[in-house]
């Protein structure tokens, strides 16, 4: 029987039923969800009807509110048992064109869907009621009884009223649910933001990639349950990838760090290709080509995984894979959070890898510097050859003064080893770890000397395009070695003296005083005392420098050192030139020991270098001719200056006019190129191609 829809009036209702409905309203009022509304309604209706089954659904999928159902029936003992709702009944209520559908007699249910099913279940009468608001359908109610005609007895108006009045509860519950969901999503959002913020803080606190990875994982584990985290980084533009870090405490060892592979068709490749978080079930993992199923599912027992691509500067730099032995460990909200975390992690890891690269380069550079330093030490430092009493005396003085920090003045002819001793003093001093800065006063044009020593500010003079620190500043906390100090321009001497006394100076063009703490070692082959007399060197500076003078004797005064030096230099150059020289003929050694060596050790060193070049076999072959003719003897009446001049001209003649280089005049004279050039300038000898002598 299907009655025509009509709107009943309250007055048509039986007053007792009306009162009952009002009681029902009071009972249903506090219900906030289907699970409480269902049983409450059942109880209310049972008081008035021979009710044996009730099913209730609510939902408005168009509004984003999913359907939910509740159903129960009372057994023979009258107790309520929850049951599964019938599959088709929601559709049946939805499709009702009328206010309700009543199956009065089970016999009358005919062969149609719902009626048949209910009849088969032993029900003799039933009613389907759609729950509607003025705008839409929000649910449905099904009542069934084992008694025939049960609903006819209560009257159709009552049923229509019941449906109307339940509709408002249905709507309320739906709205509450909507509100709960909104709240839940707000909470979720807030929690996500909190997690992301925590990650950001972690990211800022770590610079090393591994530290960063571990911190991120520790942080995420507090919020998300997973078994393992694997960071895979892309190499060669993503053609290859490498497992870089793993945080998988319970790992069975199937995934290992520093293993490279082609991302191919596996989860990593999928995430890299899609550029968004990808969630994989156990079945998904099993469907990947080998070795994914063997490693991940069979090996590690994983049941779900979320692979997040790490994108920085629009480049997929790797994939962070979260793995779980649980099914469904990464629902959409979690995957979404991991994706958002991944965006931050990508940038931080990118920076961390860049930092790592810079560190590696820096270490390499430091290594190289160390190497260079060692090289320098080898050349200069600590190999001081000779056993002569006079050299021993020098070394004792060096050892005595080194730790004191006192200013040292090294005196001696050119090439005697003044710089070598200066380095030895620095090396034995507490400043050994700091820099040893040298400046050759003869080698720098007078006009540039001030800026070289004291530095300059930008714009201090034409061409000073940027500020520059001077040698004094560079030597801060270390040692400054002023070589050829006799050549220091007279006008600069007061400024240097002031800097040494006050430990303070200004850069050229600067006003800011700069503090400096350095140890000074000066060296000269000139007679400074005579220069003071001649007023070409300031007396006050001389006294400041002459605190601890050490005189290094010329080689001719310690000939017993010559054989040792010859052997040492032969070995050094033979090794450098890969020559197997292991014998020095006695005749050669005698000639070398007899020679006067006006250029001292440097001259001997250069001579041996040339000899090693000239030696074809295992024996050192020396150019005797260079030693044979007497050196320009000092003839009567000839000044030292004349002798020096003719020696330089002779050396220039022999070198074809070349000053520098292994066969140049400086090398032949045992002088530094710069020293020879300054001497030539003083003696009025011009540089250039060979000119006739005499």
Give the binding site for ligand ATP (CB under 6 A): 380, 383-386, 412, 414-420, 483, 523, 525, 601-602, 605, 671-672, 675
Q: How many CB atoms lie within 10 A of CB 179?
A: 10
The residue nearest ligand ATP at its CB is 417
Pairing assessment for the beta strands 65-74 and 315-324 based on DSSP bridges: unpaired
- Tally of CA atoms within 13 A in the half-sphere of 346 that contains its CB: 24
Please state the closest distance from residue 670 (CB atom) to ligand ATP, in A. Answer: 8
Cβ–Cβ under 8 Å, residues 480 and 439? yes
Please state the closest distance from residue 351 (CB atom) to ligand ATP, in A. Answer: 47
Please state the closest distance from residue 399 (CB atom) to ligand ATP, in A. Answer: 15
Please state the closest distance from residue 561 (CB atom) to ligand ATP, in A. Answer: 7
Q: Which is nearer to ligand ATP, 385 or 627 (CB)?
A: 385
Q: Which is nearer to ligand ATP, 453 or 552 (CB)?
A: 552
Q: Token pair of 62, please?
A: 């168009």
Q: Which is nearer to ligand ATP, 544 or 672 (CB)?
A: 672
Q: Which is nearer to ligand ATP, 65 or 385 (CB)?
A: 385
* Closest residue by Cα to residue 258 from 235, 237, 239, 278: 235
Largest CA distance in the chain: 157
- Tally of CA atoms within 13 A in the half-sphere of 58 that contains its CB: 23
Please state the closest distance from residue 415 (CB atom) to ligand ATP, in A. Answer: 5
Cβ–Cβ under 8 Å, residues 345 and 310? yes
Q: Which is nearer to ligand ATP, 324 or 479 (CB)?
A: 479
Long-range own/partner contacts, residues 394-397 (CB < 8 A, 24 or more apart) = 394/421, 394/550, 394/551, 394/552, 394/553, 395/424, 397/548, 397/550
Q: Which is nearer to ligand ATP, 473 or 487 (CB)?
A: 487
Q: How far apart are CA 585 and CA 150, in angstroms?
A: 136
Q: Which is nearer to ligand ATP, 333 or 683 (CB)?
A: 683
> 486 CB contacts (<8 Å, ≥6 apart)?
441, 524, 525, 526, 528, 531, 537
Please state the closest distance from residue 350 (CB atom) to ligand ATP, in A. Answer: 50
Distances (CA, A) of 199 to 62, 209, 614: 37, 14, 70
Q: Which is nearer to ligand ATP, 376 or 469 (CB)?
A: 376
Please state the closest distance from residue 388 (CB atom) to ligand ATP, in A. Answer: 9
Distances (CA, A) of 34 to 70, 171, 173: 7, 11, 8
Q: Which is nearer to ligand ATP, 247 or 483 (CB)?
A: 483
Q: How far apart are CA 238 and CA 317, in angstroms?
A: 8
Cα 589 to chain center, whole Å? 60
Supply φ then ψ for residue 480, to 5 degrees. Answer: -110, 125
Distances (CA, A) of 419 to 145, 280, 436, 607: 116, 72, 11, 19
Please state the closest distance from residue 532 (CB atom) to ligand ATP, in A. Answer: 20
Please state the closest distance from residue 554 (CB atom) to ligand ATP, in A. Answer: 10
Please state the closest distance from residue 568 (CB atom) to ligand ATP, in A. Answer: 6
Q: Which is nearer to ligand ATP, 681 or 691 (CB)?
A: 681
Please state the closest distance from residue 508 (CB atom) to ligand ATP, in A. Answer: 26
Q: Which is nearer to ligand ATP, 247 or 419 (CB)?
A: 419
The partner residues of 140 in beta bridges, in order of sequence, read 57, 130
- Tally of CA atoms within 13 A in the half-sphere of 401 that contains its CB: 24
Q: Token pair of 669, please?
A: 């004279």
Helix (H, G, I), strand (E, B) or coil at 102: strand
């Amino acid at each position: 029987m299907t009655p025509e829809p009509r709107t009943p009036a309250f007055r048509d209702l039986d007053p007792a039923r009306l009162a009952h409905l009002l009681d029902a309203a009071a009972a249903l009022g506090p219900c906030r969800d289907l699970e409480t509304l269902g049983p409450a309604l059942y109880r209310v209706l049972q008081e008035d009807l021979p009710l044996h089954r009730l099913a209730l659904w609510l939902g408005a999928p168009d509004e984003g509110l999913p359907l939910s159902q509740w159903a129960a029936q009372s057994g023979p003992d009258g107790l309520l048992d929850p049951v599964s709702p019938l599959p088709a009944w929601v559709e049946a209520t939805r499709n009702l064109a009328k206010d309700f559908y009543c199956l009065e007699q089970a016999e009358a249910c005919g062969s149609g869907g719902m009626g048949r099913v209910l009849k088969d279940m032993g029900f003799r009468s039933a009613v389907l009621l759609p729950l509607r608001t003025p705008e839409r359908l929000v649910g449905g109610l099904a009542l069934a009884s084992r008694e025939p005609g049960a609903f006819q007895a209560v009257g159709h108006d009552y049923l229509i009223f019941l449906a109307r009045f339940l509709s408002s509860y249905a709507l309320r519950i739906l709205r509450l649910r909507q509100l709960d969901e909104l709240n839940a999503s707000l909470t979720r959002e807030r929690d996500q933001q909190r997690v992301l913020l925590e990650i950001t803080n972690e990211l800022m606190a770590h610079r090393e990639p591994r530290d960063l990875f571990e911190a991120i994982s520790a942080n995420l584990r507090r919020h998300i349950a997973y078994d393992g985290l694997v960071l895979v980084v892309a190499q060669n533009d993503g053609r290859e990838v490498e497992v870089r870090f793993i945080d998988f405490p319970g790992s069975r060892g199937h995934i290992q760090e520093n293993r490279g592979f082609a991302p191919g068709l596996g989860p990593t490749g999928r995430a890299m290709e899609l550029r968004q978080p990808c969630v994989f079930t156990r079945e998904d993992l099993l469907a990947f080509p080998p070795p994914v199923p063997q490693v991940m599912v069979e090996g590690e027992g994983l049941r779900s995984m979320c692979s997040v691509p790490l994108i920085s500067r629009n480049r997929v730099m790797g994939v962070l894979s979260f793995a779980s032995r649980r099914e469904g460990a990464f629902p959409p909200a979690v995957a979404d959070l991991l994706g958002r975390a991944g965006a931050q992690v990508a940038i931080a890891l990118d920076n961390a890898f860049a930092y790592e690269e810079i560190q590696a380069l820096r270490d390499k550079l430091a290594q190289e510097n160390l190497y260079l330093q060692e090289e320098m030490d080898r050349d200069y430092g600590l190999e001081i050859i000779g056993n002569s009493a006079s050299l021993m005396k020098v070394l004792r003085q060096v050892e005595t003064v080194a730790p004191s920090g006192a200013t040292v003045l090294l005196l001696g002819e050119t090439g005697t080893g003044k710089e070598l001793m200066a380095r030895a003093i620095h090396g034995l001093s507490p400043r050994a770890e700091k820099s040893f800065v040298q400046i050759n006063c003869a080698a720098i044009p007078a006009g540039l000397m001030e800026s070289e020593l004291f530095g300059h500010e930008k714009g201090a003079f034409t061409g000073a395009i940027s500020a520059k620190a001077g040698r004094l500043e560079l030597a801060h906390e270390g040692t400054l070695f002023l070589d050829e100090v006799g050549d220091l321009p007279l006008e600069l001497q007061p400024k240097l003296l002031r800097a040494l006394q006050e430990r303070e100076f200004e850069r050229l063009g600067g006003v800011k005083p700069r503090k400096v703490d350095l140890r000074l070692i000066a060296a000269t082959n000139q007679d400074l005392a005579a220069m003071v007399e001649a007023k070409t060197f300031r007396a006050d500076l001389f006294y400041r420098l002459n605190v601890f003078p050490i005189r290094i004797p010329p080689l001719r005064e310690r000939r017993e050192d010559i054989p040792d030096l010859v052997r040492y230099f032969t070995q050094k150059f033979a090794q450098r030139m890969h020559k197997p020289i292991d014998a020095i003929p006695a005749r050669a050694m005698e000639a070398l020991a007899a020679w006067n060596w006006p250029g001292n050790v440097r001259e001997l060193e250069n001579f041996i270098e040339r000899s090693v070049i000239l030696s074809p076999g295992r024996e050192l072959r020396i150019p005797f001719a260079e030693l044979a003719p007497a050196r320009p003897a000092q003839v009567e009446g000839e000044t030292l200056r004349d002798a020096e001049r003719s020696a330089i001209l002779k050396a220039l003649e022999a070198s074809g006019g070349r000053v520098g280089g292994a066969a140049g005049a400086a090398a032949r004279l045992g002088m530094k190129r710069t020293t020879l050039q300054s001497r030539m300038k003083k003696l009025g000898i011009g540089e250039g191609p060979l000119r006739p002598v005499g």
